[in-house]
Structure 1
Amino acid sequence: MKPRKERTLLDSRQNRQRLRTIFYISLLLLLVVDVFVPKHGHFPWEDAYAFYAAYGFIGCVGLIFVAKGLRWLVRRKEDYYD
């Protein structure tokens, strides 16, 4: 007897569209809140437009390159566990 596949939340196209709409509305709401909330930086460059977005992006890209470099450092031979 075949097990019955249960439907999940994302199986329906209509549910996916609703979730996508909710996601975009929440992003727009966060953008509006971010624009109107005053920020008080400790350093002058923190007051630049989109500083935190650029800082976060550069930080994530930097982490990716550090991880790629560490991969070469900690790599094991293919038959290490044999």
Structure 2
Amino acid sequence: MNKPEQKVAFFDKPENVKIILRVFYVLCVVLVIADFIVHRHIYVSFEEIPAFYAIYGFVACVVLVVIAKEMRKLVMRDEKYYDAREDEDDSSKKPEEKQQ
């Protein structure tokens, strides 16, 4: 019997991903160039730095990742945390209830 052909998704084709990445990179370059051309109404002096908002966004993203990695140490649970809770619940049940 013939198997039905699976439809290939748009992002599964490597050539489509390459095109999208190239468009993304070009758009990033255009936006950085536009930062030098477009007049901005600044409120504080450090906004005059060329590509300030691109640098600010990158630094903010890096800081968020570093903070998240450190927070992970504080809030992370053991891998078997939820399994242990289920084992406690199962121990209180009768053997007949466990099998259902």
- TM-score, scaled relative to structure 2: 0.62
One-letter code of the match for 1:34? Answer: D
**1:54 deviation in Å?**
1.4
CA 1:8 to 1:19, structure 2 compared with 1: closer, same or farther past 3 Å? same
The correspondence of residues 1-82 of structure 1 with structure 2, limited to 5 A, is: 2-10=3-11, 11=13, 13=15, 15=16, 18-82=19-83
| Largest Rg, 1 or 2 | 2
Identify unmatched segments of 5+ residues in structure 2.
84-100
| Contact 2:35–2:51 (CA under 8 A) maintained in structure 1 | no
CA 1:20 to 1:77, structure 2 compared with 1: closer, same or farther past 3 Å? closer
CA 1:12 to 1:57, structure 2 compared with 1: closer, same or farther past 3 Å? closer
**1:20 deviation in Å?**
4.7
> What is the aligned-residue identity percentage?
37
Distance 1:58 1:71 in 2: 20
CA 1:47 to 1:12, structure 2 compared with 1: closer, same or farther past 3 Å? closer
CA 1:54 to 1:6, structure 2 compared with 1: closer, same or farther past 3 Å? same
Identify unmatched segments of 5+ residues in structure 1.
none
User: Across the two proteins, how many residue pairs are aligned to each other?
Assistant: 81
CA 1:61 to 1:18, structure 2 compared with 1: closer, same or farther past 3 Å? closer
Distance 2:73 2:45 in 1: 38
